[in-house]
């Protein structure tokens, strides 16, 4: 598919929305795919304040795009995020998209969550995955523990945007200190729609770049 053909799938209303978002955001200090990623997040949330909450690690977008172009599995912490990513994955590199819940027990243990319990098996089965966490800080903490203890290899990229007020900010601080390739939102903001928007921006740009 040519870059022109891929661009043509953007609805005129979306294109106008992005034009307005760029005007409202003004100078962000970002460029290229990082700016596109921010615009997708703002478009998906309607929240211009995300510009102050977004943190992108050095080389994180490039690492994620390279992994996606090479066919990396996209792991999510919820079925909702997986469903939001699957259409773009099919249209671009055909990456397998699956939720860690597919590897989880039917019932979560009293002190845990199903997403956290499924994380170890999912990471072991999908080395070099791009991991999206939009809901479960427990899953993010489990990932960090597994990598730190060398029980699994580090993912190619972690998009860490769990949403909420219990353990969320703490898990993001731990991600920030981990040294992993990462994209995150600070504070309580996040969600399945936002992690999907982030990886969809990377998929789209990687596809356009290789088609150019």
Q: Specify which residues 54 forms β-bridges with.
A: 185
Q: What is the CATH number of the domain that holds 62?
A: 3.40.50.10230
59 Rama class: left (phi>0) / alpha (psi -120 to 50) / beta? left
Residue 212 has pLDDT above 80, yes or no: no
Residue 109 in domain: yes
Tell me whether residue 27 is in a domain. Answer: no
Q: Does 43 fall in a domain?
A: no
Does 99 fall in a domain? yes
Cross-sheet strand order for the sheet of 54-56: 54-56, 182-185, 157-160, 130-133, 74-76, 97-99
Q: Is residue 82 part of a domain?
A: yes
Mean pLDDT of 158-162: 98
Helix axis angle, 60-69 to 32-45, nearest 10°: 90
Using DSSP's 3-state secondary structure scheme, residue 18 falls into helix
Do 116 and 137 meet the contact criterion of CB atoms below 8 Å apart? no
Instruction: Flag whether 172 is in a domain.
Output: yes
Yes or no: say if 37 and 61 are a contact pair by the CB < 8 Å rule: yes
Residue 178 has pLDDT above 70, yes or no: yes
Residues in the chain: 212
**Is 207 a member of any domain?**
yes
Helices 79-91 & 192-211, crossing angle to 10 degrees? 10
Catalytically active residues are 43
Each residue's pLDDT tens digit, 107-117: 777 667 888 88
- In sequence order, the 6+-apart residues with CB closer than 8 A to the CB of 120 are 142, 146, 151, 152
pLDDT category, 190, cuts 50, 70, 90?
Answer: very high
- The number of domains in the chain is 1
Q: Give the domain range for residue 135.
A: 53-211
Tell me the three-class secondary structure of 118-152, residue by residue.
Answer: HHHHHHHHCCCCEEEECCCHHHHHHHHHHHHCCCC
How much is the pTM? 0.92
Distance CA 134, CA 33 (A): 20
Instruction: Report the C-alpha gap between 116 and 79 in whole angstroms.
Output: 14
Instruction: Judge whether 169 lies within some domain.
Output: yes
Q: If you average pLDDT over residues 165-178, what whole number do you get? A: 97
Tell me the per-residue pLDDT of 30-71, one tens digit each, with 9 for 90 and over: 999 999 999 999 999 999 999 999 999 999 999 999 999 999
């Amino acid at each position: 598919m040519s870059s022109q053909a891929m661009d043509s799938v953007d609805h005129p209303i979306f294109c106008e929305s992005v034009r307005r978002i760029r005007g409202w955001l003004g100078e962000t200090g970002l460029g290229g795919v990082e700016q596109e990623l921010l615009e997708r997040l703002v478009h998906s949330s309607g929240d211009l304040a995300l510009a102050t909450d977004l943190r992108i690690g050095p080389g994180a977008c490039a690492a994620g795009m390279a992994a996606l172009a090479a066919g990396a599995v996209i792991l999510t912490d919820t079925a909702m995020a997986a469903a939001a990513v699957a259409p773009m994955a099919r249209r671009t590199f055909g990456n397998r998209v699956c939720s860690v819940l597919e590897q989880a027990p039917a019932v979560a243990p009293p002190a845990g969550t199903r997403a956290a319990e499924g994380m170890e098996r999912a990471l072991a089965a999908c080395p070099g995955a791009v991991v999206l966490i939009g809901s479960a800080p427990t899953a993010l903490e489990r990932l960090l523990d597994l990598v730190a203890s060398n029980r699994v290899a580090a993912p190619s990229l972690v998009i860490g945007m769990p949403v909420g007020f219990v353990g969320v900010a703490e898990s993001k601080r731990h991600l920030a200190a981990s040294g992993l390739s990462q994209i995150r939102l600070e504070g309580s903001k996040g969600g399945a729609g936002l992690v999907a928007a982030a990886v969809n921006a990377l998929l789209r740009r990687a596809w356009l770049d290789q088609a150019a």
